[in-house]
Amino acid sequence: MNTKSAAAPRLSTKTLSLAKPGVVLPQYDRSKTAIGIVHFGPGAFHRGHQACYFDSLLQRDPRWAICGAELMPNGLMENAGVQDNLYIVAELDANIHYRVVGSHTEYLKAHGQADKIFARLLDPNVKLVTSTVTEKGYYLGGNGELDLDNPAIAADLKHPTAPGTLIGWVTEALARRKAAGMVPFVPVSCDNVMENGNKYHKAVLSYAAARGDKDLTAWITDNVRFPNTMVDSITPAATPELMERIAREAGLRCEAPVQREAFRQWVVEDILGEGAPDLASVGVMMTKDVAAYEFAKLRLLNGAHSTLAYAGLMRGRESVGEAMADTKLSHAVELMMREDIVPTLRKTPGLNFSAYISDLLDRFRNPALTHKLIQIASDGSQKLPYRIVGSLTDALKGGRSIRRFTISLGAWMRFVERQAKAGIAFQDPLNDKLTAIGKACTGNAAADVPKFLALREVFAADLAENPQFKAAILAAYENFEALLD
């Protein structure tokens, strides 16, 4: 950090008044708020997205402050803790705006503070337990159901009162609420998982059944709501440059900043029940049909992102902006969205696919936002089944072309090969398998592709054995760039 940035006062409750004009500050007395939400996984996305909605809500209703519960500490919220759990969100667009978010009033770590987290989960004031733990944090198998054989889940089943996973924590907390005769909280997944509420619900029921607790399973079935949700806002990782810029332009030094595009969207199934926060009053879309928005976002935005990531990285690009400046790549991605993905989506009132795609392309080109492709490329084995393979499978069933869908899959396989042979570990739960496959690749499609298709976490058996798909993926592995024409 340069001298000028270091000279700026550190963000805290006492230094808020030193913020430069134009910085948006909390418009409520944080000392008079009550915690109504426990959030597992308070990383950058949550802090730039859901926490901002609750920050706005606290201006009119003090009951909805957040306790951040960190399953795997990464230092982000610890840095914010020194700042009284305050942090700055930089909204990046043609004009950049800074906002100090104050909705987090407590931060606890699962390792060492489990009793305090459980105490919070048993607090009758806590109505929602939200989560952003990424797709892999739900430990779902290729069939979308809880993988009971996963070592982390198996470990929780052996020691259910000392959980390590989100599923274990939520189930044990619900069990304790039931035992205490309490009303259950509402678990709300805010991750990019198709039908996240339904799958979350099934995972918790499966886990409860595996614990051998029939009464708990029945109680959860009858009493606990798991709403489906859809979230959207591009949130690149913070950089030292961002910290310096915030110190210079906002007048306060923040060591737990978040940067995101100005656009954000949160769609929640309208089943939160009595006593829930008035999310609609702060711009959350409450609906009975989350699936339509979810499919549009996951397949159009996230599908395009994954394609830009793997094909872009293999073409020497580093950011979404650079990938979009690659005319051949961006044109192929736009055609995939308009001609290949849209036919897989269900039409619904209020969703204009053509306009949505145009907005997405503008967001991808946002010059103020540097979204690293390598960040998007993480956890590919977990993301691709939802972002690409699902659309491809629907296109196959509909007798439509799957050619462009194989661009990202072929590029991903080449990316795995390149990274493995360079000795670079994957940020992916299948790191060991991917490394072994990548190192064994010879460059010969007939020999290499079957190794990838054997990954049931990514490719279902019936798809992997489909002749049309096998021919298309072999061609994409041999030369995915030819598919850009």
CATH number for the domain that contains residue 388: 1.10.1040.10
Residues ≥6 apart with Cβ < 8 Å to 17: none
Q: How confident is the model at residue 349 (pLDDT cuts 50, 70, 90)?
A: confident
Considering the domain architecture, whether residues 265 and 358 belong to the same structural domain is answered as no
Considering the domain architecture, whether residues 424 and 284 belong to the same structural domain is answered as no
Calpha distance 189→167 (Å, rounded): 11
Considering the domain architecture, whether residues 271 and 295 belong to the same structural domain is answered as no
Considering the domain architecture, whether residues 277 and 380 belong to the same structural domain is answered as no
**Tens digit of pLDDT for each residue in 17-75?**
999 999 999 999 999 999 999 999 999 999 999 999 999 999 999 999 999 999 987 66
The token pair at 330 is: 């961006």
Q: Please answer whether residues 85 and 105 qualify as being in contact, where contact means their C-beta atoms are separated by less than 8 angstroms.
A: yes
**Tens digit of pLDDT for each residue in 140-176?**
997 889 999 999 999 999 999 999 999 999 999 999 9
Question: Checking DSSP bridges between strand 35-40 and strand 65-70, what pairing results, if any?
Answer: parallel
Burial code (b: 16+ CB inside 10 Å, e: under 16) for 336-359 equals bbeebbbebbeeeeeeebeebbee
Residues ≥6 apart with Cβ < 8 Å to 480: 311, 314, 406, 407, 410, 411, 414
Q: What CA dihedral angle connects 421, 423, 427 and 429, to 10 degrees? A: 70
CATH number at residue 182: 3.40.50.720
Considering the domain architecture, whether residues 122 and 165 belong to the same structural domain is answered as yes
Confidence (pLDDT) at 482: 96
Could you give the strand order of the β-sheet that contains 285-287, starting from the edge strand earlier in sequence?
A: 229-232, 265-269, 285-287
Considering the domain architecture, whether residues 337 and 268 belong to the same structural domain is answered as no
Among 240, 262, 288, the domain boundary falls at 288
Q: Please answer whether residues 242 and 259 qualify as being in contact, where contact means their C-beta atoms are separated by less than 8 angstroms.
A: yes
pLDDT at 194 over 90: no
Confidence (pLDDT) at 236: 85
pLDDT at 14 over 90: yes
The token pair at 241 is: 């440059």
Calpha distance 46→38 (Å, rounded): 12
The mean pLDDT of 361-386, rounded to a whole number, is: 92
Calpha distance 400→416 (Å, rounded): 28
Please choose, from the candidates 123, 271, 143, the residue with its C-alpha nearest in 3D space to the C-alpha of residue 206.
143
**453 class by beta-carbon count within 10 Å (0-12 exposed, 13-18 middle, 19+ buried):** buried
pLDDT at 403 over 60: yes
Position with higher pLDDT, 258 vs 82:
258
Could you give the strand order of the β-sheet that contains 258-261, starting from the edge strand earlier in sequence?
A: 97-101, 87-92, 258-261
The token pair at 175 is: 């069990």
Considering the domain architecture, whether residues 259 and 407 belong to the same structural domain is answered as no
Considering the domain architecture, whether residues 262 and 298 belong to the same structural domain is answered as no
Considering the domain architecture, whether residues 165 and 284 belong to the same structural domain is answered as yes
pLDDT at 457 over 90: yes
> Left, alpha or beta for 196 (phi > 0: left; psi -120 to 50: alpha)?
alpha
The token pair at 238 is: 């913070």
Confidence (pLDDT) at 134: 92
Among 258, 288, 318, the domain boundary falls at 288
Position with higher pLDDT, 142 vs 105:
105
Calpha distance 261→483 (Å, rounded): 30
The mean pLDDT of 257-285, rounded to a whole number, is: 94
Q: 258 by DSSP, 3-state: which?
A: strand
Which range of residues forms the domain containing residue 18? 3-288
Confidence (pLDDT) at 399: 97
Confidence (pLDDT) at 5: 60
Q: Please answer whether residues 341 and 391 qualify as being in contact, where contact means their C-beta atoms are separated by less than 8 angstroms.
A: yes
Question: Checking DSSP bridges between strand 229-232 and strand 265-269, what pairing results, if any?
Answer: antiparallel
Confidence (pLDDT) at 76: 63
Q: Please answer whether residues 452 and 413 qualify as being in contact, where contact means their C-beta atoms are separated by less than 8 angstroms.
A: yes
Considering the domain architecture, whether residues 98 and 110 belong to the same structural domain is answered as yes
pLDDT at 311 over 60: yes
Overall number of domains in the chain: 2
Among 268, 288, 308, the domain boundary falls at 288
Q: 26 by DSSP, 3-state: which?
A: coil
The mean pLDDT of 385-399, rounded to a whole number, is: 96
Confidence (pLDDT) at 130: 98
Confidence (pLDDT) at 393: 97
Q: What percent of the chain has pLDDT over 90?
A: 86
The mean pLDDT of 264-291, rounded to a whole number, is: 94
Calpha distance 373→205 (Å, rounded): 36
Confidence (pLDDT) at 13: 97
Residue 443 CB coordination number (10 Å): 10
Q: Where are the alpha helices (DSSP H) in 365-455?
A: 373-376, 380-384, 390-397, 405-421, 431-440, 445-453
Q: 372 by DSSP, 3-state: which?
A: strand
Q: How confident is the model at residue 104 (pLDDT cuts 50, 70, 90)?
A: very high
Considering the domain architecture, whether residues 200 and 185 belong to the same structural domain is answered as yes
Confidence (pLDDT) at 346: 87
Mean pLDDT score of the chain: 94
Considering the domain architecture, whether residues 299 and 274 belong to the same structural domain is answered as no
**Tens digit of pLDDT for each residue in 220-255?**
999 999 999 999 998 988 999 999 999 999 999 999
Query: pTM of whole model > 0.85?
Result: no
Question: Checking DSSP bridges between strand 87-92 and strand 258-261, what pairing results, if any?
Answer: parallel
